[in-house]
């Protein structure tokens, strides 16, 4: 039942996309037309301020993360594996014990 519903949504992804995009456009237009709710910050009074902020925030965050990752902090998966050597014996012992627990 649930799978069928999800499958239906996936099959009609193109329609879904159009509906969501239309809703987003409607949201921005509605925000432009409605009076500003707050005026504590200047961007709160702009219609579509949330949309603009969302795009800018997302782009800057991806840029920041990628720069940090590629420039400084990305390492291969096995980077810390050397430190595991003393624990391998414990791991083997634990495995053996769990096997004997099950049998």
Partner 1 sequence: MHEWFVINWPFIEWLPPSLVLILGGLLVSFLRGVVQKLMLLAAPTLALVAVLGSAPGAYASFEFLNMQMTLGRVDPLSLVFAHVFAIMALVGAIYALHVRDTIQHVAALIYAGSAMGVVFAGDLVTLYVFWELMMLSSVWLIWRNRRAASLAAGFRYLLVHAVSGVLLLAGIVIYYTQTGSLSFDAIETGSPAFWLILLGFMINAAVPPLHAWLTDAYPEATVTGAVFLCAFTTKTAVYTLIRGFPEAEVLVWLGTLMTLWGVTYAVLANNIRRLLAYHIVSQVGFMVAGIGLGTAMALNGSAAHAFTHILYKALLFMSAGAIIQMTGRAKLTELGGLYRHMPLTFVFYMIAAFSISALPLTSGFVSKTMILEAYADHQAAFVWLVLSLASAGTFLSVGLKLPWFVFMGRDSGLRPREAPANMLVAMGIVAFFCIFIGVYPQWLYQMLPHQPVGYNAYTLAHVFWDLQLLSFVGLVFFVLLKFMAPKDKITLDTDWFYRVAAPHAVGLIHRHGTSAWRNLLAAMRWPLGRIFAQALRYHGPKGILARTSPTGSMVLWVAVLLTATLLLYYI
Which residues here bind partner 1, judged by CB under 8 A?
Answer: 2-3, 6-7, 10, 20-21, 23-24, 27-28, 30-31, 34, 36-38, 40-41, 44, 48-55, 57-62, 64-66, 68-69, 72-77, 79-80, 83-84, 87-88, 90-91, 94-95, 98
- Shortest distance, CB of residue 4 to partner 1, whole angstroms? 9
- Shortest distance, CB of residue 32 to partner 1, whole angstroms? 10
Burial class (CB in 10 A: 0-12, 13-18, 19+), 38: exposed
How far apart are alpha carbons 34 and 47 in whole angstroms? 8
Rg (CA), the chain: 26
């Amino acid at each position: 039942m649930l799978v069928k519903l999800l499958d239906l949504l996936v099959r009609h992804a193109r329609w879904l996309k159009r509906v969501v995009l239309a809703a987003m456009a409607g949201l921005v237009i509605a925000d432009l037309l409605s009076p500003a709710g707050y005026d504590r910050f200047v961007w709160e009074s702009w219609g579509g301020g949330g949309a603009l902020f969302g795009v800018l925030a997302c782009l800057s965050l991806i840029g920041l993360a990628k720069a940090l990752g590629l420039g400084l902090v990305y390492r291969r998966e096995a980077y810390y594996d050397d430190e595991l050597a003393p624990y391998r014996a414990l791991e083997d012992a634990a495995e053996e014990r769990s096997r004997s627990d099950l049998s």
